[in-house]
A and B are shown apart, each in its own frame.
Chain A
């Protein structure tokens, strides 16, 4: 076998392993082996790619020893750094870690484009167009993901919005397109380094500007979108390099990521463009009608005891649970209820938290078995037969206005029908509004009581109340 044939074979095997691996990830039973299968794919293809040393460009031949050394060093440093951070980071920091690793992939695709565009010979149009397009997508994904990381990690706390943000973004985008076309047409396939640098700089700036104004609760859409973008950039650069495995892996991820992005956007009843370009609630909260009733506070202990004697309890977690790091206490409380014969399950909204499926990971971390986690469609009819719905740190996803109030900004968004339960308890820090800025009429409903306080502290009280009861009995 020639080195070339070995590389092709390894790439083919890798593509096969990726698809098999992702397929296994579609069920919680086989998912754990799925990542290992896909892992072998990357390992095999990476090791085989070192065989390129036998077929490098004659012009690169004198640099081969240095290049090989650089390659091994970069690989070693990159893997070591990511492995250590990935192992060390607490699981609650998952959204930002996914964002940063994804951004690195986009950056790598951008680097490939930069190397190809600064090539020695003139590049044919058929190569240069995709190289340029992939460069923009990769660069935007890189800088955008870094901003998403900074926001999720609390490095940037407020949403930053420049005056005339839309116009600036549009102008910048037009400039990038203009530069790209100029590079293509006027430079005869050999773009001067200064021009290429400006081009990349503009693309990086676009990623920053697009992501800065996006608020925390929209992050599930954004992370998923950038994941799809990186996939696309990788696929395009794979075409430029004539590497089918990159095209297949990139397109599969791009398609999957796009689908997930649309699912997330649909769960918020908004379009992806709306998430990216306009502020939530910007479209008139004026129509917010008068809400009847008042918020009725209740003691934590009383709420706990009423759940202890309920037949069925559904728990609705939100980002507040993640912030309070209360998932362990929550599961401890749930186990006490279960021991008392109460049927307990978790009702999880698709966009609760800061990334798709965030609540599921959070609960899994605390040891909650996955068959207790119910999806919106599967659980929503059960609320009518539920004695107590316990809402923890969630707000907009249980607001009945989404069903009834046409003037509400969240009208049409699928919600969990917590208000259909006989009794609702809401654990909440204060009387503030949710991310959308809309008042939640559920909190004023007759069958709803508020337990004010930090989720962790409240759950500790819940647990104490149940234990006391057990001791007294």
Chain B
């Protein structure tokens, strides 16, 4: 056990934490807007944001690789203005993870907002409150289970990323070599013992995270009287 390098796990956690934090602020306004709008473009936008669920990670990875490359507009833009290389870098992984995990943040938030009483939101508007104030003071505090689900599932889903990370990030130790990629490499070099240990840690962690979410939601719902 002493020889285990926890670097890839730390990197996975760092990636998941940064992704979850950034994605929360990106997805929140969109989820709120989607839940409130009657725009005809809504199904179109919902379809686009849900694409990462159905697309093979290799497809997403391929397009991202192409978009991130120095000769593309996006790659050039980041290189020029931020001096950041997106391909095979941690920053690139964060951008890729944000796209890959997008629906896992948007969907729980949106369905949480949609389950709220429309009248309660209207009561805030009639009380003179702006859409933004209503979002933060009324809507968000009343969808705690959805909020927790969105945050934790996004976090967990990012930890569980493999295909996109491998294609966009490669396997640079300390930069892009996350736990899932490390396991793949151990199997490739037939170091099954380390692969076993890494995998067991991943299984235990995933279970603990999901159990935590479900326990919280169960307790929250029975406290506020849903399902009685």
> Are the chains A and B members of one assembly?
no
Question: Which A positions have Cβ atoms within 8 angstroms of B?
Answer: none
